[in-house]
Amino acid sequence: MSRLLIVSNRLPVTVHVDQGDVSVVPSAGGLVTAMRSPHERHGGLWLGWPGDVSRLDAAQRAALEEQLRQLGTVPVHLTPAEVRRYYDGFSNGVLWPLFHYLTEKVHLDARRDWETYREVNERFTEAIVAQYRPGDRVWIHDYQLTLVPAMLRQRIPDARIGFFLHIPFPAAEVFRSLPWREQVLHGMLGADVVGFHTASYRYHFVYSAARVLGLDPDLETLAVEGRKVRLGVHPISIDVDEFVRLARDEEVRAEARRIRERAQGRKIVLGIDRLDYTKGIPRRMLAIERFLEREPELRSKVRFIQLAVPTREKVDAYADFRRTVNELVGRINGSYATLDDVPIHFLHRSMPMSEVVALYLAADVMMVTPLRDGMNLVCKEYVASRIDDTGALVLSEFAGAAAELIEALPVNPYDIDSVAATIKRALVMPPSEQRVRMQALRRRVVTHDVHRWAHCFLNDLERACSAAPEVGAVRRRTDAPQLNTIASARSAPSLVVMLDYDGTLVPLAAMPELAPPDEELIADLRELAARPRTQVHVVSGRPREDLERWLGELPISLHAEHGFFSRAAPGEPWVALREASLDWKPRVRDILQGFVDRTAGSFIEEKVASIAWHYRSADPELASQMAREVPAKLEEVLRERDLELIRGRKVLEVRLRGVNKGAIVPRVLATVPPEAMVVALGDDQTDEDLFAALPPTALTVHVGGGESSAAFQLPDPAAARRFLRALVA
């Protein structure tokens, strides 16, 4: 049976030591609730850090390990020094503030923290590998483990891997400031499915990958090293049934009545947050102050309650933040307190969930105003608890939940005046409007609970791994099966090797002239051509001049401009495929020049029989938009002059219809015996014409990511060159 291996920074347990006896208590929480059923099904495992157990002796450690085993959990032990650098230093000192757009709080010199972060991610990967069985699904969670998917993919290429990011993914302009941006992106893209709370987070991820890694932007899938990575939007939620149960509990309801009685008829405005700088508590306090200043007649009719749950208290920045909040609350209360009451009741503590739900039931208005939040479940908890359909929710537009809970009162937490005005609007909202809004909010929260979230993500992972068998085949074929293929090619009585150049033999370059062959490639091609009964053909979209200058002295055949020109051997003349009128080129050039003028970083490459518009170095978002407009602008001239528009890897090329790499196949095969084996390698759409024209017995290999009809796939030009060397070895 397929198991689910859940991987998170912390195990869902709390370790207690009482008079030398160790006990392990399962933790509560949304993720734990969501994962309970899939974790327990078919012997699933949960891997993570159990907390600091460095002071346990050998006997206590053995007792701990046994209790963890019985709970289906696997500990990944970390030293206090590792936790300080991996968790406090890099995860929460670099990634957390950066992903929440608070760049001024990012640690400036985090090189050693990064090294520990990488080492700990390797430790988690090793723990997964040790537990993995063929067919298992692996679900990795959150920003502390962004490198694990790629590390695991390298160790177990066929693993089914999901990754979910529980915090925002920032805009590309912010993310690109991370010194280790390539590593983090590559790490996450090791998964089959990468999940986000909102479509905007997914959008930022896609365009970060486009800008940093040069990937083609696609909001559904990204082609990475011969694989397709699915990108999903899965907003996490809560265990609605549990909150409804608590909201109906008589003791909880009695506590809610006591809270309201102590308010002495005042309306209650509630805030519940971790005491974290992303939650916007200081700005909320300033908005409350502005409300009190503007609405003197309402001061005695409102009580503000702020529950601030302690977090990361050993970190200096958080201790400083707590002092700032305390001073702010004290100043406001000092200005507006009376002998009977203070406006803000500030509580710095944790509370059991039953008491939290009592607060939800007592509150007339719930304020959730983070500066930035991946989702924020407090607002969903409040909505789930309001079983009588009353109450008003004030929600920051920068919380991920705002994309779902559109019936809430939206606010910009940076606009203090607007937040103050919205507090008043919520307090005076008619019961009929409260009911309409809350009923709509509850429908969304009740039907999209945390169990649905987990189910949808795992279904997405299953579809991603089963809907594209060619991708899985690529992973398997890049290793052992390829040995059989190479053996059959070596033993063939005659061999024809047809090779694309850019993206196949050499990496794609920002400008065409920056991709000359290195000495090793020249030697590889020379050695391949020297193999008995072997023909080597380089079939490229490049002009004749490039191929002649770089490869002209090699004893191989060259085909330029996708086969429009061919040269059989060194010293022989270039021959055109056919006679053709080229008077269409000025018109096409003028149209494409308009796109060059509008797209900085793009350029035109003009050849004899074609014109190409390259946009590899342009802003990927703008270039993608422009590339969608090109076909419409060219439609008339394409139709009138029997031309076609070909889409390559970040290049659009206009050429004569019928001039393609496949057109040279009959001429090439006419010069070799019928039993010759054909091997063809290419990397983009132009090479699909070649693959389609070859006989079924040909060995076709696609280099890089993306769709292809090729039988095999290799991740990059380096792998393609190793493959060619293996044909000679």
Taking the C-alpha atoms of residue 350 and residue 384, their distance in angstroms, rounded to an integer, is: 20
| Cα dihedral 459, 3, 712, 231 sign | positive
Q: How many beta carbons lie within 10 A of that of residue 439, not counting itself?
A: 12
Q: What is the C-alpha radius of gyration for the chain, rounded to an integer number of angstroms? A: 31
Active-site residue set: 500
Q: Residue 303 in contact with residue 345, Cβ under 8 Å?
A: yes
Task: Give pLDDT tens digits for 366-394.
Answer: 999 999 999 999 999 999 999 999 999 99
User: Could you tell me which CATH number the domain at 470-578+659-728 has?
Assistant: 3.40.50.1000
| CATH placement of domain 240-448 | 3.40.50.2000
- What stretch(es) of the chain map to CATH 3.40.50.1000? 470-578+659-728
Within 10 angstroms of residue 354's Cβ, the number of other Cβ atoms is 12
Which element (helix H / strand E) includes 290?
helix 281-294
- Mean of pLDDT over the chain: 92
Higher pLDDT, 214 or 389: 389
Q: Above 70 in pLDDT, residue 439?
A: yes
Q: Is 612 in a helix, a strand, or coil?
A: strand
In the chain, CATH 3.30.70.1020 sits at: 585-656
Query: What is the C-alpha separation between 450 and 83, in angstroms, rounded?
Result: 29
Query: 4-233: which CATH number, 3.40.50.720, 3.40.50.2000, 2.40.50.100, 3.40.50.300?
Result: 3.40.50.2000
Q: Which pLDDT value is given to residue 280?
A: 97
How far is 427 from 420, CA to CA, in rounded Å? 11
pLDDT of residue 677: 93
Contact 706, 223 (CB under 8 A): yes
DSSP per-residue letters across 309-325: E---TTSHHHHHHHHHH
User: Which fold, 585-656?
Assistant: Alpha-Beta Plaits (3.30.70)
Instruction: State pLDDT tens for residues 454-480.
Output: 999 999 999 998 854 433 333 333 432
Q: Is the pLDDT at 19 greater than 90, yes or no? A: no
pLDDT in the model for residue 437: 98
> What CA dihedral angle connects 507, 510, 512 and 513, to 10 degrees?
-100
- In the chain, where does the domain assigned CATH 3.40.50.2000 lie? 4-233, 240-448
* Residue located via tokens 């912010």: 174
For the chain, percent of residues with pLDDT exceeding 70:
97
Q: What is the pLDDT of residue 556?
A: 96
pLDDT in tens, 335-349: 999 988 999 999 999
Range 144-157 burial, b when 16+ CB lie within 10 A, else e: bbbbbbbbbbeebe
CA atoms within 13 A on the CB side of 215: 28
CA angle 363, 364, 365 (to 5 degrees): 90
Encoding tokens for residue 702? 């696609």
At 658 the pLDDT is 85
CA 463 to chain centre: 17
